[in-house]
Amino acid sequence: MSALDVRAFTVGPVQENCYIVRPDARATGALLVDPGDEPERLLAAIASLGVQIEAILVTHCHFDHIGAVAPLAHATGAPVYCPEIERPMLADVMKWVPPTLPPGFGPFESYEADHTLAGGERLGLAGLDIEVLFTPGHSPGHLTYALPGALLSGDVLFQGSVGRVDLPGGDWATLERSIEGLLTAYAPETVVYPGHMAVTTLGRERDTNPFLSELRRRLPRAAAADAAPATS
């Protein structure tokens, strides 16, 4: 069982989940994932935990996931890792904020990413071994960060739902393939820390998520889970 210590902070009007992640509860080095809003609150949490942020990881560059990247990067000095394809969105955040949004969103400060990732990389940061996975479909450059026993999966897969595919660069077939890749590569007990809503597991979503019913029919392990329980 992984000792991973993950603290969740739901921030901003879109209720986005930002995470502080470290190898265990005594570690002083940590990752910050998707700081979307409320920078002062996140900085207070970092101070209260007594951790040093060693890297800021971004799953994708929708404004609700990156609104606090610049202030957190400046305050902590941590380098920012961002999907390569979406780097221009982080570099000019307000250009991509829909003009129809009601007041209360932003303004958000832009940031030029220190590192870009395409998926397929392996990172060693804050004492953690991180696999970078390309999981497009919700957004064109979306990344999932795989840690031992856990996925930080942004807006790919939610508890009982999936990321929307009606924004620019979104595509359902692509998202479904990304989810299939996660379900086939990682164990059912893998904990999913999503960009919105509650924490779940791959197995729970594989077996019960209504958006995955077609995918369920194609997955051999899901077929076993759908079968009647043994009575012997």
> What's the CA gap between 70 and 68, in Å, rounded?
6
Contact track, Fe ion, 28-67, x by CB under 5 A: ----------------------------------x-----
Q: Are strands 80-83 and 52-57 parallel, antiparallel or unpaired?
A: parallel
Among 155, 156, 183, 209, binds Fe ion (CB under 5 A): 155
* Nearest alpha-carbon partner for 225 in 195, 188, 193, 192: 188
Q: How many residues bind to Fe ion according to rule CB under 5 A?
A: 2
Is 67 in contact with 61 (CB distance < 8 Å)? no
Taking the complex as a whole, the smallest distance from the CB of residue 85 to Fe ion amounts, in Å, to: 14
> Is there binding between residue 196 and Fe ion (CB under 5 A)?
no
Taking the complex as a whole, the smallest distance from the CB of residue 20 to Fe ion amounts, in Å, to: 20
Which residues lie closer than 8 Å to 157 by C-beta, 6 or more apart?
Answer: 163, 179, 182, 192, 194, 200, 202, 205, 209
Complex with Fe ion: residue 32 or 89, whichever CB lies closer: 89
Taking the complex as a whole, the smallest distance from the CB of residue 73 to Fe ion amounts, in Å, to: 20
Task: Read off the tokens for 147.
Answer: 């840690």
Taking the complex as a whole, the smallest distance from the CB of residue 137 to Fe ion amounts, in Å, to: 11
**Footprint of Fe ion (CB under 5 A):** 62, 155
